[in-house]
């Protein structure tokens, strides 16, 4: 799937919904619970969370890949781990504030 910033996607295994915040473009396979995410408004076939793809997506949290080339924002929480091309996405950590010595 060709992603662009602003795309809204939903899971085929849970209530999870995300918005693409940042992407470098190109074709990627974005999954939740092991099944591909579906563009908002489209009805995909419902499925079960695949073994090894258990997890939870948290409301308002940002998820990024290891290279920090893809960033998603969760707009509706649900079950299933997020992944891109089979690589898991992790929670984006907050930037440390400068000290105020």
Taking the C-alpha atoms of residue 55 and residue 61, their distance in angstroms, rounded to an integer, is 14
The residues near 25 (Cβ < 8 Å, ≥ 6 apart) are: 2, 3, 4
Task: For residues 53 and 35, give the distance between their C-alpha atoms in angstroms, rounded to a whole number.
Answer: 9
Would you state the pLDDT for residue 24?
A: 86
pLDDT tens series, the chain, 101 aa: 899 999 999 999 999 999 999 998 788 999 999 999 999 888 766 889 999 899 999 999 999 999 889 999 999 999 999 999 999 999 998 888 888 76
pTM of the model: 0.88
């Amino acid at each position: 799937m060709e992603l662009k910033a602003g795309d809204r996607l939903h899971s085929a295994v849970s209530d999870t919904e995300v918005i693409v915040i940042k992407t470098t473009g190109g074709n990627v396979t974005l999954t939740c619970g092991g099944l591909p995410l579906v563009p908002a408004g489209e009805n995909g076939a419902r499925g079960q969370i695949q073994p090894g793809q258990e997890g939870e997506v948290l409301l308002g949290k940002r998820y990024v890949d290891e290279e920090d080339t893809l960033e998603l924002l969760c707009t509706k929480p649900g079950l299933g781990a997020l992944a891109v091309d089979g690589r898991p996405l992790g929670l984006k950590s907050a930037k440390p504030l400068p000290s105020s010595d």
